[in-house]
């Protein structure tokens, strides 16, 4: 199963196309821009995990069936369902704990 390449930052709604080098994801594929990850203090507001750079899916088909053309990025925009206060409270609670220990 391929990663779901979400088209936007779930916090600020910045466009993050499949080749965006500033897209970050958590282990549940929640997607944020690098600027928002900094504001969130590396705490995913959905699951509490940390973030890693989102991989870039190859545009060219180097192996049969494996490319952006055959497995395109999602077009469904995703937005947070938590208030700013709830997001800040979770970040405050977890930011001092390294992601590997959360």
- pLDDT tens for residues 5-39? 999 999 999 999 999 999 999 999 999 999 999 99
Average pLDDT of the chain to the nearest whole number: 96
As a whole number, mean pLDDT of residues 88-102 equals 97
Residue 43 has pLDDT above 80, yes or no: yes
Contacts 24+ apart (CB under 8 A), 70-76: 71/2, 72/18, 73/5, 73/6, 73/7, 73/17, 73/18, 74/4, 74/5, 74/6, 74/7, 75/7, 76/6, 76/7
């Amino acid at each position: 199963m391929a990663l779901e390449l979400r088209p936007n930052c779930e916090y600020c709604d910045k466009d993050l196309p499949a080749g965006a080098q500033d897209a970050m994801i958590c282990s549940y594929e929640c997607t944020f821009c690098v600027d928002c990850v900094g504001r969130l203090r590396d705490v995913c507001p959905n699951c509490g995990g940390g973030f890693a750079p989102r991989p870039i899916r190859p545009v060219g088909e180097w192996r049969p069936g494996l490319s952006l053309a055959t497995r395109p990025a999602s077009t469904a925009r995703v937005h947070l369902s938590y208030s700013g206060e709830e997001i800040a409270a979770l970040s405050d609670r977890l930011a001092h704990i390294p992601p590997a220990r959360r």
